[in-house]
Amino acid sequence: MTDEKPKAVLIIGATASGKSALALDVAERFGGVIINADSMQVYAELRIITNRPTPAEEARAPHRLYGFRPAREPYSTALWLADVAREVADAEARGLLPVIVGGTGLYFKALTEGLSTIPEIPAEIRAHYRLRAETEPAEALHAELSRRDAATAATIRPSDPQRIARALEVLEATGRPLADWHAQKEPPLLSAADALPVVVEIDRAALYRRCDERFDRMIEAGAIEEARAIDALHLDAALPAMRAVGLPPLIAFARGEVSLGDAAERAKTATRNYAKRQLTWIRNNFISRNDCFTKEMQGTKSEINLFVRKRLTAFH
């Protein structure tokens, strides 16, 4: 970080880590606008299941890029980056501090490193490799990638089927390795000197407990009814919104295919697994790197708040 006032606060953490509450606290204290960096909270029909801010919370500070896209329309990192660029510029013009918060690591990576200009992948190619990622061992797919694109394969863990499938679909569609495309990036919207980053971490056992408790609250708040409403839209199951964590088992319950207990257990397990993947991704991509994401915050919300306040108060 430089001695200049940061242009934005970036708050990243796993689901149920408390990052949204921290973002709201920072925005209220320092005149900020909260900008969503969660790929599922953009969908209008998924307020409860994605744990979007409540209307009461939204009334306490400006919120942007929440619930503004219909679930029938896919949303991408490139679209988000264009939208967040507009919101950051608007905040700057209004004298507001952008507080960008979420758990979608690719959004933050694109924000601070720039986005590769990979062409749109044809739907049939993407569907082919995504299906293989779901039905074939990840190690077998990684071996195939190693044969076809050794350079990219060397950067991907053999146990990461989503990234392997992505590399294969890009190679198939463009004829060029993913590593080549990654070498061609647009300039980042925010450089390391522009941002005040905070990685929110809590004890893993406590995080998993909070995931379970939050799901129970979501059920009480109407998550089942929300799942029924989504199911009634008859959307393509391949749409990103339909893969929201916890949604598939709740739809299965709404259809009478499983009991509520089974649906809840599946949803809680999926949420815990998602949180684990987020933590791993954040550690591998941000905390260990020598760039703007180097400050690992451990402890209570008040300790994290103190860190943010000290860094920002110096400029007030």
Task: Tell me if 164 sits within 8 A of 133, measured CB to CB.
Answer: yes
* 3-class DSSP state of 225: helix
Report whether 295 belongs to an annotated binding site: no
H-helix segments, the chain: 19-30, 55-60, 77-94, 105-113, 123-135, 138-148, 150-153, 161-174, 178-182, 204-221, 223-231, 247-254, 260-282, 301-313
* 3-class DSSP state of 8: strand
How far is the CA of 97 from the CAs of 11, 64, 76, 147, 275, in angstroms?
13, 13, 25, 48, 28
Q: How far apart are CA 42 and CA 44, in angstroms?
A: 7
Task: Tell me if 129 sits within 8 A of 168, measured CB to CB.
Answer: yes
Report whether 261 belongs to an annotated binding site: no
Task: Tell me if 83 sits within 8 A of 18, measured CB to CB.
Answer: no
In this structure, what token pair is assigned to residue 195?
């941002």
Backbone dihedral angles phi then psi of residue 299, each to the nearest 5 degrees? 125, -155
Report whether 15 belongs to an annotated binding site: yes
Report whether 20 belongs to an annotated binding site: yes
* 3-class DSSP state of 98: strand
Dihedral of the alpha carbons of 178, 80, 2, 283, in degrees to the nearest 10: -60
Report whether 299 belongs to an annotated binding site: no
Residue 264 DSSP code: H
Report whether 67 belongs to an annotated binding site: no
Report whether 19 belongs to an annotated binding site: yes
Report whether 32 belongs to an annotated binding site: no
Amino acid in position 160: D
Q: How far apart are CA 169 and CA 174, in angstroms?
A: 8
Q: Which residues are annotated as a binding site for ATP?
A: 13-20
Q: Which residues are annotated as a binding site for substrate?
A: 15-20
Q: Which residues are annotated as a binding site?
A: 13-20
